[in-house]
C-alpha cells in the first residue's frame, strides 16, 4: 500500500450491479478487466468478453474503472454499495428496470447474495454497527493488499422490499440505508424525471424503516417527494450521490433549499464524478444532448463542494459519493481520472484549493463516519 494516503469512504457505488449486470469479476485488477472486455486484435476474445455478444444487454457499460484491487490501491477502505433494481414504468428515462416488483425483489436478493459471497471470500466485510465501523477504520490504518473493503449496505430504489413486514429481515441481513425512488416512478413514488409524489403505500414502509433505524437517502427523489420525505421522516437523512442545481441545471441535482434542508438535520451529501452531473452546459433532464466523452476534470467536483461549504458555512456536510461504477465508465468520468485509486489525487486537488488537512479528512471519511455513528447510536 502507498504511504501518506488518507482513508476514503465512497458514499455511493453499485458494485453488485456492476458485477452481475456487466458480468465483471471485481476481484480482478482493473487492467485485467479491461483486457477481458476489449481484447486487442488479433487475439481471440476472452470467454468473459462482452465484445462479440450479439445482444449487448447494457449499452451504458463503459470502460471499467472500479475494482476491489484498485480500491485497496487508493485506500478506498469503506463503501456504501447498493442493492439496485427498480420497477420499470412507462415514465422512466432508462430501460433496464423490471416489469414487476417480484422480479425486482429477486434481483435485489441476488445482489445481497453477491456481497455475501464476496465476504465469504474475504474480499469485503459487512459493517452493521458502530463497533464494526470503528474496527474497519482501525484496520485501514495499516492496510495491505488483502485487507477487506468495508461495506455499508444501501439500496437504491426500494422496490426489492415487498412491504413493511420485510424491513426487519433486510435490516437483519445488513441493510443500513434506503432510497425510496430512482429514475421514473416505481412502487413507492416518483423519482428523477417525474413531478409526482409518494404513493399511499410508501408511508407504512417509511414507518417500518424508521423503526429499524435505517438511514433515508434522498437521492433520486422528485422535488415533491423530496419535500414530502423531509416533512414526514424523523430519522437520519443523507443524499448519497447528488450535485448542486445552482451549478448544473436539472431536477436530478439538489437546489440550495434542498441542501439547507439536509444539512440543517446534520445530513451528509456525497458528490458525484459523472460528466452529466458536472458540466454546466448539460441538463440532466435531457440526456440525449450529452456528449460521448467527458470534458471536465476532477476539480469540477470541488466546485460543488465549494458551493455547499459556502452555503452552509462549514465543511461538515460534504463527502464523496462517486457513483463511478453506476452505469457509466471512464468515457464519462473526469478527464484526469483513470481508476478509483485516483480519488487520492482528488484529495490533493482539495488541498491545492485551500482546504485544510482537517477539512480534507472530513470530506474523505470523517463526515460519513460521524453520520453513521450518530445514526446507529
Q: What is the DSSP letter of 240?
A: S
Task: List the chain pLDDT tens, one digit each, 377 residues.
Answer: 445 699 999 999 999 999 998 899 999 999 999 988 855 555 555 555 444 443 344 445 789 999 999 999 999 999 999 999 999 766 555 566 888 999 999 999 999 999 999 999 999 999 999 999 999 999 999 999 999 999 999 999 999 999 999 999 999 999 999 999 999 899 999 999 899 999 999 999 999 999 998 999 999 999 999 999 999 999 999 999 999 999 999 999 999 999 999 999 999 999 999 998 999 988 777 766 666 788 999 999 999 999 999 999 999 999 999 999 877 899 999 999 999 999 999 999 999 999 999 999 999 999 999 999 999 98
Q: What whole-number distance in Å separates Cα of residue 265 and Cα of residue 348? A: 29
C-alpha cell at 36: 477481458
User: Residue 283: what pLDDT?
Assistant: 79
Burial class (CB in 10 A: 0-12, 13-18, 19+), 3: exposed
Alpha-carbon distances of 234 from 38, 160, 368, rounded to whole Å: 48, 23, 19
- Where do the domains of the chain lie, and which CATH numbers do they carry? 8-45+57-376 (3.20.20.140)
User: Residue 281: what pLDDT?
Assistant: 87
Within the chain, residue ranges assigned H as helices are: 15-21, 30-37, 68-73, 101-120, 130-139, 167-172, 202-212, 223-232, 256-263, 299-312, 343-352, 357-361, 367-376
pTM exceeds 0.85 for this model: yes
User: Residue 289: what pLDDT?
Assistant: 63
Q: What whole-number distance in Å separates Cα of residue 23 and Cα of residue 294? A: 24
Within 13 Å, how many C-alpha atoms sit on residue 240's CB side? 33
Q: What whole-number distance in Å separates Cα of residue 161 and Cα of residue 164? A: 8
Q: What whole-number distance in Å separates Cα of residue 313 and Cα of residue 320? A: 19
Q: What is the DSSP letter of 122?
A: T
168-188 as b/e: b if 16+ CB within 10 A:
eebbebbbbbbbbbbbbbbbb
Amino acid at each position: 500500500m502507498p504511504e501518506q494516503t488518507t482513508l476514503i469512504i465512497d458514499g455511493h457505488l453499485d458494485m453488485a450491479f456492476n458485477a452481475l449486470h456487466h458480468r465483471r469479476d471485481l476481484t480482478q485488477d482493473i487492467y485485467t478487466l479491461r483486457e477481458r472486455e476489449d481484447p486487442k486484435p488479433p487475439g481471440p476474445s476472452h470467454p468473459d468478453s462482452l465484445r462479440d455478444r450479439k445482444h449487448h444487454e447494457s449499452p451504458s457499460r463503459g470502460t471499467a474503472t472500479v475494482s476491489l484491487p484498485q480500491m485497496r490501491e487508493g485506500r478506498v477502505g469503506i463503501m456504501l454499495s447498493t442493492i439496485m433494481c427498480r420497477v420499470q414504468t412507462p415514465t422512466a428515462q432508462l430501460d433496464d428496470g423490471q416489469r414487476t416488483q417480484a422480479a425486482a425483489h429477486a434481483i435485489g436478493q441476488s445482489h445481497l447474495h453477491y456481497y455475501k459471497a464476496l465476504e465469504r471470500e474475504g474480499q469485503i466485510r459487512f459493517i452493521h454497527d458502530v463497533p464494526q465501523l470503528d474496527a474497519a477504520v482501525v484496520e485501514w490504518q495499516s492496510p495491505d493488499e488483502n485487507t477487506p473493503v468495508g461495506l455499508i449496505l444501501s439500496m437504491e430504489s426500494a422496490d426489492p422490499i415487498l412491504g413493511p413486514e420485510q424491513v426487519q429481515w433486510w435490516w437483519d441481513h445488513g441493510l443500513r440505508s434506503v432510497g425510496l425512488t430512482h429514475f421514473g416512478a416505481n412502487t413507492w413514488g416518483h423519482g428523477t424525471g417525474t413531478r409526482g409524489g409518494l404513493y399511499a403505500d410508501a408511508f407504512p414502509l417509511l414507518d417500518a424503516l424508521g423503526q429499524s433505524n435505517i438511514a433515508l437517502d434522498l437521492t433520486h427523489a422528485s422535488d415533491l417527494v423530496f419535500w414530502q420525505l423531509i416533512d414526514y421522516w424523523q430519522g437520519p437523512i443523507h443524499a448519497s450521490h447528488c450535485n448542486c442545481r445552482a451549478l448544473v441545471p436539472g431536477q436530478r441535482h439538489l437546489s440550495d433549499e434542498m441542501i439547507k434542508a439536509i444539512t440543517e438535520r446534520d445530513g451528509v451529501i456525497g458528490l458525484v464524478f459523472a460528466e452529466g452531473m458536472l458540466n454546466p452546459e448539460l441538463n440532466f433532464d435531457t440526456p440525449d444532448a450529452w456528449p460521448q466523452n467527458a470534458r471536465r476534470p476532477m476539480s469540477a467536483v470541488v466546485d460543488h463542494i465549494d458551493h455547499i461549504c459556502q452555503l452552509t458555512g462549514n465543511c461538515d456536510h460534504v463527502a464523496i459519493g462517486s457513483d463511478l461504477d453506476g452505469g457509466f465508465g471512464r468515457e464519462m468520468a473526469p478527464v484526469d481520472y483513470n481508476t478509483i485509486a485516483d480519488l487520492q489525487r482528488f484529495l490533493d486537488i482539495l488541498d491545492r484549493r485551500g482546504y485544510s488537512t482537517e477539512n480534507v479528512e472530513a470530506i474523505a471519511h470523517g463526515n460519513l463516519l460521524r453520520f453513521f455513528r450518530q445514526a446507529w447510536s
